[in-house]
């Protein structure tokens, strides 16, 4: 029985084993019995979410790219430096450069559109026909040059700076090989008139000198309005050109300034040059004589010495300085008068008659320290701030023995005409320091810093008037009826390479109207010669044959001619002149 039971048990095990094997063969998954259909749905959802995220990401990327390109296209459509190619004509437009205008809005410098005509040989179908067409349009054109460049098969320029009219003529030839580059060029309608003020630009439209350089960044964004006046500039320049010719001079210069606000109404330096031609100016004679030139200006310095003596109440205008010799010895130098003068002169007469030794006697009473400080305050000895980089620096010197004596009458001391004119403006406007400027309506041109008392200013203006009106004055040729001109002459021998020569530099600084000055005008003539051919109106008499070349006979004469012409523009009423001025009250 036990044996049977064992056999039966073994048989059952074999059957169970066989059934299990059959089950495994029919099973599709090892986890078939535990499979959850919800798990499959979750997996599908997860995959869908991943795909959707990718789509959103790609969409966002493409949207960003489209936005960037759209913004770029819009930007380029408005940008002035856009480059286009239309009908085989290349159009290039560079950024505009702002205009430079005078005080009345008259254009002095402006950018305009022009075209460069070029030829692309690869587009030429018939070389002979092209050259023939161009020859008909431009009879003087160089055919060999065109043919040579066509054979080189390289892009080349036919003609530059064409106007719109010239471009249309070329375009009408119907030659696809002729391409047009649209660009900007700078033009100066008044050519030479403002060359020393405006300066030049380079081929990249960047300023390299003058106002063009000083305001380079401003001009790339806006217009600049200057204080100068085109009409005044023209009249003054014409008269200066005439004087250079009459006196056979090397050059000349002038500056006209409003003494209340320091605005420069005109600034001329001769010789000048045409701004429309790009030139590399190296000749020193083309230096801006008014702002860059550093000169010994001679007797115009006597006004500073006299003004200080009056302001310190060391002398009054009528104080008599006695025993003035015709010459004195200072160290190893001999100082003499320019003409024989009386031994006794009042303080006023010393300036009126331009006495060298009389001025020295006054300076000795003032003292070196006080005169030195006064000249420093007038900014005669320092580099001046101005809206041009072409500004000169006065030469340094030591106040050694005899320097007080020579400086007092303008010998051995240098400055720029701009600084000298500014100093006269400060002394004549009531005694307040002014800062010269080339910009209209610039603030803070007249400071509240007082250099001399108002009473002293009135006294100086009165003496300067007598320099022109007195029979013994050195500037009688500057007198113009109705304009009440006052001023001071200066004649100096030129120092070349450390040696004084017989060549002269003459100057005249005038103020007008002297009762209540509004303008200062400085005239400078470089190396003038005598002009015996001129018929002078000298103290009411017509005279000629004068062979002197002192400032009174050229610079003062020129100033009178200029004031007569510009007076009406400056709105000075000749007829009602004396009724329209209020005497300034003393301000001590």
**Where in the chain are the domains?**
89-191, 233-269+286-579
Q: Could you tell me the CA-to-CA distances from 391 to 46, 277, 340, 341 in Å, in that order?
A: 79, 24, 38, 38
Strands 156-162 and 251-258: unpaired
Which is the CATH superfamily of the domain at 233-269+286-579? DD-peptidase/beta-lactamase superfamily (3.40.710.10)
Q: pLDDT tens across 63-119, in order?
A: 777 777 667 666 555 444 434 443 444 444 455 799 999 999 999 999 988 899 999
Question: How far is 415 from 505, CA to CA, in rounded Å?
Answer: 13
Q: Which residues of 284-318 are buried (b: 16+ CB within 10 A; e: fewer)?
A: eebbbbbbbbbbbbbbbbbbbbbbbbbbeeebebe
Rounded CA separation 279/287 (Å)? 14
Backbone torsion region of residue 577, taken as left when φ is above 0, otherwise alpha when ψ lies between -120 and 50, otherwise beta: alpha
Q: Over the stretch 540-563, which tens digit does the pLDDT of each residue have?
A: 899 999 999 999 999 999 999 999
Q: What number of CA atoms fall less than 13 Å from residue 86's CA on the CB side?
A: 8
Name which of 418, 449, 415, 456 is nearest 434 in CA terms: 449
Per-residue pLDDT of the chain (588 residues), as tens digits, is: 444 455 455 555 555 555 555 544 444 443 334 444 445 555 555 555 556 666 767 667 767 777 776 676 665 554 444 344 434 444 444 557 999 999 999 999 999 888 999 999 999 999 999 999 998 888 988 989 898 999 998 999 998 888 888 899 999 999 999 999 988 889 999 999 999 999 999 878 899 999 999 999 999 989 999 999 999 999 999 999 999 999 999 999 999 999 999 999 999 999 999 999 877 777 889 999 999 999 999 999 999 999 999 999 999 999 999 999 999 998 888 999 988 999 999 999 999 999 999 999 999 999 999 999 999 999 999 999 999 999 999 999 888 888 999 999 999 999 999 999 999 999 999 999 999 999 998 865 566 789 999 999 999 999 999 999 999 999 999 999 999 999 999 999 998 888 889 999 999 999 999 999 999 999 999 999 999 999 999 988 999 999 999 999 999 999 999 999 999 999 654 444 444 443 433 343
Terminal CA-CA length for the chain: 155
pTM above 0.85, yes or no: no
In DSSP terms, 202 is beta-bridged to: none
* Residues 464, 466, 467, 472, Cα dihedral to 10°: -160
Domain 89-191 adopts which CATH fold? Penicillin-binding protein 2a (Domain 2) (3.90.1310)
Q: Which residue's structure tokens are 């048989």?
A: 11
What span, in angstroms and rounded, lies between the C-alpha atoms of 484 and 522?
16
Strands 320-321 and 541-543: unpaired
139 DSSP assignment: T
């Amino acid at each position: 029985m036990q044996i049977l039971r064992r056999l039966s048990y073994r048989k059952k095990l074999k059957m169970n084993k066989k059934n299990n094997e059959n089950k495994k063969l029919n099973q599709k998954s090892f986890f078939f019995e535990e499979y959850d259909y919800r798990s499959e749905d979750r997996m599908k959802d997860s995959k869908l979410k991943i795909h959707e995220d990718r789509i959103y990401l790609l969409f966002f990327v493409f949207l960003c790219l489209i936005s960037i390109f759209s913004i770029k296209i819009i930007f380029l459509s408005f940008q002035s430096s856009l480059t286009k190619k239309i009908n085989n004509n290349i159009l290039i437009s560079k950024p505009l450069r702002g205009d430079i205008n005078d005080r009345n809005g008259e254009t002095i410098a402006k950018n305009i559109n022009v075209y460069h005509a070029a030829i692309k040989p690869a587009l030429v179908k018939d070389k002979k026909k092209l050259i023939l067409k161009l020859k008909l349009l431009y009879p003087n054109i160089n055919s060999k040059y065109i043919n040579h460049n066509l054979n080189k098969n390289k892009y080349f320029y036919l003609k530059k700076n064409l106007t719109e009219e010239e471009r249309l003529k070329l375009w009408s030839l119907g030659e696809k090989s002729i391409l047009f580059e649209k660009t900007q060029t700078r033009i100066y309608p008044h050519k030479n008139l403002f060359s020393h003020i405006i300066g030049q630009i380079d081929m990249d439209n960047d300023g390299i000198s003058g106002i063009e350089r000083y305001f380079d960044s401003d001009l790339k964004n806006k217009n600049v309005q200057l204080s100068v006046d085109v009409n005044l500039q023209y009249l003054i320049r014409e008269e200066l050109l005439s004087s250079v010719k009459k006196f056979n001079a090397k050059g000349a210069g002038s500056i006209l300034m409003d003494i209340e606000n320091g605005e420069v109404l005109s600034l001329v330096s001769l010789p000048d040059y045409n701004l429309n031609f790009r030139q590399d100016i190296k000749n020193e004679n083309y230096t801006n004589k008014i702002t860059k030139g550093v000169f010994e200006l001679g007797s115009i310095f006597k006004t500073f010495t006299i003004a200080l003596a009056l302001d310190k109440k060391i002398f009054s205008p009528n104080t008599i300085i006695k025993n003035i010799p015709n010459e004195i010895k200072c160290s190893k130098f001999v100082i003499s008068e320019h003409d024989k003068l009386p031994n006794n002169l009042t303080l006023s007469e010393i300036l009126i008659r331009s006495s060298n030794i009389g001025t020295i006697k006054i300076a000795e009473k003032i003292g070196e320290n006080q005169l030195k400080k006064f000249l420093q305050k007038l900014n005669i000895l320092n580099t001046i701030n101005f809206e041009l980089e072409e500004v000169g620096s006065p030469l340094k010197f030591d106040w050694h023995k005899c320097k007080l004596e020579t400086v007092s009458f303008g010998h051995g001391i240098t400055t720029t005409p701009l600084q000298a004119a500014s100093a006269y403006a400060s002394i004549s406007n009531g005694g307040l320091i002014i800062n010269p400027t080339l910009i209209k309506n610039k603030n803070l041109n007249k400071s509240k810093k007082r250099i001399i008392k108002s009473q002293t200013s009135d006294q100086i203006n009165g003496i300067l008037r007598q320099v022109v009106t007195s029979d013994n004055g050195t500037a009688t040729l500057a007198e113009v009826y109705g304009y009440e001109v006052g001023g001071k002459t200066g004649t100096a021998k030129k120092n070349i390479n450390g040696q004084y020569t017989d060549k002269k530099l003459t100057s005249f600084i005038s103020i007008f109207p002297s009762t209540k000055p509004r303008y200062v005008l400085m005239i400078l003539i470089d190396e003038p010669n005598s002009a015996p051919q001129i018929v002078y109106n000298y103290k009411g008499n017509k005279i000629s044959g004068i062979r002197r070349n002192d400032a009174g006979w050229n610079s003062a004469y020129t100033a009178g001619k200029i004031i007569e012409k510009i007076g009406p523009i400056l709105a000075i009423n000749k007829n009602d002149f004396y009724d329209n001025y209020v005497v300034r009250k003393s301000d001590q």
